[in-house]
């Protein structure tokens, strides 16, 4: 992907435009007006403003496309076969607490299939990009998932259900299993970046439940285009709308699925 396609150029331009005010807002995070949207689910003025900028820039370039957005919901387009899927700030809780780990996430779906994805952390200026059949990059560097084959050497990422969210006992069972068999488990607070880090080989795997399409759409394509596997936790199904996600390199995927679902985990060796 030395030369970006027109569609990726549109996505990058929108993300860069939106990130200018987002970085400024982050620098003044203590002064932001913060309101609640449900239990422990925050919306900031920056969240709404970022989404509006992304929508405007993307619609300006591709006016017929529809939208699925975290804050504004579904906006039908004249072209029923092409839809942008947007999360303006994935990791909003990190953002409003001054933690520099959050991202803009944009994906394009055509005829029901993800064809382009972007995850951008504006604080560290890391731009993760993927296009179907063209691979994945971070700041123009080609990405590949990790090559580890032993669970005992693997570092995983996850999302921990918090107050008012998720099945805590079920998660603790999964976490206990993962802790007993791996080199470590991390919780960073942004599913989009967790998936980007799997694509980059920084994490060997990632799992979480209760996610929405805008949290993971771009990350799904990043993982696939970096040579990884991504499904629901049980190893089956459509993780974009299925409610759970498990991403890893191809050699670890089945052992991780077995581990997290309580099946007997086979010891995996190179073949």
Give the active site residues.
70, 87, 89-90, 92, 215
CB of 117 within 8 A of CB of 130?
Answer: yes
* Count of other CB atoms within 10 angstroms of residue 200: 22
Alpha-carbon distance of 136 to 200, in angstroms, equals 9
Element (H, E) at 138: strand 135-138
How far, CA to CA in Å, does 84 sit from each of 81, 104, 135, 262?
10, 13, 20, 36
User: Could you report how far apart the first and last alpha carbons of the chain are, in Å?
Assistant: 31
Alpha-carbon distance of 104 to 202, in angstroms, equals 19
Residue 151 contacts by C-beta under 8 Å, 6 or more apart in sequence? Answer: 181, 182, 252, 255, 256, 259, 265, 268
Element (H, E) at 15: helix 6-27
Q: What is the CA radius of gyration of the chain?
A: 18
Tokens of 197: 């880090």
């Amino acid at each position: 992907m030395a030369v970006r396609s027109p569609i990726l150029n549109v996505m990058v331009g929108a993300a860069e435009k939106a990130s200018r005010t987002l970085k400024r807002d982050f620098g003044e995070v203590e002064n932001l007006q913060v309101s609640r949207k449900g239990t422990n689910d925050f919306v900031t003025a920056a969240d709404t403003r970022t989404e509006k900028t992304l929508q405007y820039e993307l619609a300006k370039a591709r006016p017929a496309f529809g939208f699925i957005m975290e804050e504004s919901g579904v906006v039908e387009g004249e072209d029923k076969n092409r839809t942008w899927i947007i999360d303006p700030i994935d990791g909003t809780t990190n953002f409003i607490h001054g933690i520099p780990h959050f991202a803009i996430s944009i994906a394009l779906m055509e005829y029901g299939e993800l064809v382009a994805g972007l995850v951008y952390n504006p604080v560290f200026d890391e731009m993760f990009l993927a296009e179907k059949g063209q691979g994945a990059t971070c700041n123009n560097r080609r990405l590949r998932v990790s090559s580890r084959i032993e669970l005992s050497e693997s570092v995983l990422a996850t999302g921990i259900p918090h107050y008012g969210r998720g099945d805590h006992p079920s998660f603790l069972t999964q976490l206990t299993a993962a802790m007993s068999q791996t080199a470590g488990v991390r919780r960073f607070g942004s599913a989009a970046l967790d998936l980007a880090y799997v694509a980059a080989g920084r994490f060997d795997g990632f799992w979480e439940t209760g996610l929405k399409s805008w949290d993971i759409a771009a990350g799904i394509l990043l993982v696939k285009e970096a040579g990884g596997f991504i499904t629901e936790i049980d190893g089956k199904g459509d993780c974009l709308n299925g409610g759970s996600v498990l991403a890893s390199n191809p050699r670890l995927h089945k052992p991780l699925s077995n581990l997290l679902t309580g099946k007997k985990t086979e010891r995996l060796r190179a073949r």
